Amino acid sequence: MSRRSALAMVFTVAFVGALAAVPAGADTSGAGSGGADQTALPVGDDPASAAEVDKVYSCQTSFNSNAPGAFNTGDWFNGDGTWDLTKKPSVDGAVTWPDAKVSITAAGVNRIISGNGLPTEETTGEFPVASSDDAYAFDRNPNSISAQTVTITLAKKPKVADEPTCLGMGTIGIFVNGVQFFNALDAGGRDAAAYEIQDSCDGHPEMSGTYHYHSGSRCVRENLDTGSGHSKLVGYASDGFGLYGTRGTNGETVNNSDLDECHGHTHKVKFNGKKQRTYHYHLTAEYPYTIGCYRGTPVSTNG
């Protein structure tokens, strides 16, 4: 990753995933947030070599088209450059994790986030994907979800950098439920939310067991971002800036057109326990879903 910060960020992590599908009657605003037409979500473009709106500014510039992951597509692709979330299958199961833990504490000028990488409130699918699961026809994720040792040290008062920084392929932030999030790309450089089959909370594990999201988990939003008005803080990017849900100042749905090339903007929000003017990111239904690049200086990760 380019331009690593001197701040320490230690992950002993295994990236776990269960790709998301939509059960009948479920919230269909899952791929990031509400507002967009869930039956015609634009499929994300190829990774960008510089910061651009609607794109992932990726540190990795070459991708293997035969990389492990989803190997087949289905009728949720509309054939016109869009995909239909309401038709996409999901990995079966609703596994709870009673041993899940996360701690977010202030230590001087730093914020320390520690835990075991498991969701404290939300469920996951059953992994590895079973041959009896309809997801198996598209994505045979062989990985198992396992507890990790996660310790992240971020600046409590992050600053906007002179230039945006690209995103690595591993952890780029963490939700307040303890689950880490990756950028919007799969291992082949495609739109992960569109191609990969995740569980009903929009997550899955990678080969070392780390459960993670590539988009704004519908379960996180339902549990942590209820109410009206501006969205609540739902996570932190690896540059220390806050990640908020899908609603803007007056409760309106935030779209990509409201945000800059890194998927954020600046105005007053509640951060560090008080309302203040600061840069922050938003979840959206549109690719790249969480963040498109770092607007601050990221801490070192294994990405």
> What pLDDT does residue 301 have?
55
| Cβ-based neighbours of 230, under 8 Å, separated by 6 or more | 244, 247, 248, 249, 250, 251, 269
At 11, list the tokens.
């992950």
Model pLDDT for residues 79-132, shown as the tens digit of each residue: 999 999 999 999 999 999 999 999 999 999 999 999 999 999 999 999 999 999
Distance, CA of 25 to CA of 40 (rounded, Å): 18
pLDDT of residue 35: 64
Q: Quick one: 117 exposed, middle or buried, by C-beta within 10 A (0-12, 13-18, 19+)?
A: buried
pLDDT value at position 300?
A: 79
Question: Does 2 score more than 70 pLDDT?
Answer: no
Which residue's entry shows tokens 């008080």? Answer: 274
- Determine the pLDDT at residue 4: 36
Of 43-47, 162-166, 242-246, the poorest mean pLDDT is in 43-47
Q: Where does residue 201 fall: left (phi above 0), alpha (psi -120 to 50 degrees), or beta otherwise?
A: alpha
Average pLDDT of the chain, as a whole number: 89
Choose among 19, 18, 29: nearest CA to 86: 29
Chain segment 268-289, per-residue pLDDT in tens:
999 999 999 999 999 999 999 9
Would you say 18 and 91 are in contact if contact means Cβ atoms under 8 Å apart?
A: yes
Please give the single-letter amino acid code of residue 172: I
Strands (E), the chain: 9-12, 16-17, 19-20, 41-42, 82-83, 102-107, 110-115, 149-155, 171-175, 180-182, 198, 203-205, 211-213, 233-237, 242-244, 264-271, 274-282
Instruction: Provide mean pLDDT across the span 5-17.
Output: 34
Out of 54-63, 112-121, 176-185, 294-303, least confident range: 294-303
3-state secondary structure of 87: helix
What three-state secondary structure class fits 258?
Answer: helix
At 36 the pLDDT is 80
The structure tokens listed for 238 are: 């690896």
Contact 89, 138 (CB under 8 A): yes
Share of the chain above pLDDT 70, in %: 87
Look up residue 258 and give its two tokens: 């409201």
Which one-letter amino acid corresponds to residue 247?
A: R
pTM attached to this predicted model:
0.87
Confidence band of 5 (pLDDT split at 50, 70, 90): very low
DSSP string spanning 176-230?
TTS-EEE-SB-TTSSBHHHHS-EBTTSEEE-TT--EEESS--HHHHHHHS-SSSS
What average pLDDT does range 154-158 have in this prediction?
97
Give the pLDDT band (50/70/90) at residue 34: low
Q: Quick one: which of 80, 97, 81, 71 has its CA closest to 19? A: 71
